[in-house]
Amino acid sequence: MKNSAAHPRIFQFRKFSIGDDRCAMKVGTDAVLLGAWVSVAGAKRILDIGTGCGVIALMLAQRTNDDAIINAVEIEAADARQAKDNVLKSPWLKKVTVHQKAIQAFDIGERFDLIVSNPPYYVNSLLPPARARAQARHGKSLTAEELIDQSLRLLRPSGKLAVVLPFAEGNEFRQRAKAKGMFIRRQLAFYSRREKPQERWLFELALTGGRVEQEELILYETMLAKSQAYISLTKDFYL
């Protein structure tokens, strides 16, 4: 992934490009991790909640068959406009639709095989000053409870919810989801470096319990060298 210009910011992936200069939250490792890691096997109808600039939606468009349909929901008008622009410039104009609205008001009359979200978090930390960044980063427009409730409303009985969260928030999310009848079926513990504490959880949740597939991933093996596992996971996207 390369940033080809400072203004606007354009990130060039292998098969598409992403601009994020008008978005509250920028392209980052969390989104790329989730977009590359989540299983899309059998997913024909996919929903991306809080799509931002649309990077996860476009990654899933690249990874899925031609008959898959992806809907992306974004509450912030500027982010939604940029996501729409990014989709227009991508190879998947007919595959991805961006909706500018709150997920609580979203209903197109169908249910989904897969819901993905890189949700707002850090709800207990100090809010940054910019309103848009605060909303994108701090769970003001979409709490963990609401994300679970809306996923239950919009998932098919066999569907899955996939999220990426900081370590502490992920542990809390796991408990809230279980209390509402959603169960971890697959999880990834993510570390930036081997000697540092765990930084992220990636979860796939379903409406039925069972064996949990457990993985871990380290971003950097040495100071500058990314791990072979991370390179392998993201090889279809990074230049």
Confidence at residue 135, expressed as pLDDT on a 0 to 100 scale:
44
Residues in the chain: 239
Confidence at residue 138, expressed as pLDDT on a 0 to 100 scale:
41
Instruction: Report pLDDT digits (tens) over 162-213.
Output: 999 999 999 999 999 999 999 999 999 999 999 999 999 999 999 999 999 9
- Directed axis angle between helix 29-37 and helix 55-63, to 10°? 20
Tokens in use for 91?
């190879």
Confidence at residue 224, expressed as pLDDT on a 0 to 100 scale:
85
CATH of 2-234, one of 3.40.50.1220, 3.30.70.3000, 3.40.630.10, 3.40.50.150: 3.40.50.150
Confidence at residue 24, expressed as pLDDT on a 0 to 100 scale:
82
Confidence at residue 140, expressed as pLDDT on a 0 to 100 scale:
53
Low-confidence ranges of the chain (pLDDT < 70): 1-8, 121-141
Residue pair 210/186 in contact by the 8 Å Cβ criterion:
no
AA letter at 41: A
Mean pLDDT of all residues belonging to the chain? 90
Confidence at residue 122, expressed as pLDDT on a 0 to 100 scale:
44
Confidence at residue 81, expressed as pLDDT on a 0 to 100 scale:
96
pTM of the predicted model, to two decimals? 0.90
| Nearest C-alpha neighbor of 65 from the set 30, 92, 27, 31 | 92
- At 112, give phi and psi (nearest 5°): -120, 145
For the chain, the domains span: 2-234
